Amino acid sequence: MQDITDRQRHILRAIREHIADTGEAPTMREIADAVGLRSSSSAWYQVRRLEHVGVLARDPHRHRSLRLT
């Protein structure tokens, strides 16, 4: 598995905490807000990188389908 950046670790932590608090995965906007990104597209880019590395998975046909692997 490739190394992940500090920002990506922060995103993973935010996703984990959101799921623990609410019982559902966060939206890209919620991820961006939680880690201080300016746009949801920045969160989307990081989520796709984390998917590529294999630490996140999602169903492309469902909203809020992120899950930690």
DSSP letter at 67 equals: E
Predicted pLDDT of residue 2: 65
CATH of the domain at 62: 1.10.10.10
For the stretch 9-59, pLDDT in tens is: 999 999 999 999 999 999 999 999 999 999 999 999 999 999 999 999 999
Domain count, the chain: 1
**H/E/C letters for each residue in 17-66?**
HHHHHHCCCCCHHHHHHHHCCCCHHHHHHHHHHHHHHCCEECCCCCCCCC
Q: Is 64 a domain residue?
A: yes
Residue 51 belongs to what domain range?
Answer: 6-68
Average pLDDT of every residue of the chain: 94
Residue 30 lies in a domain: yes
Q: Judge whether 1 lies within some domain.
A: no
Name 67's bridge partners.
Answer: 57
pTM of the predicted structure, to 2 decimals: 0.90
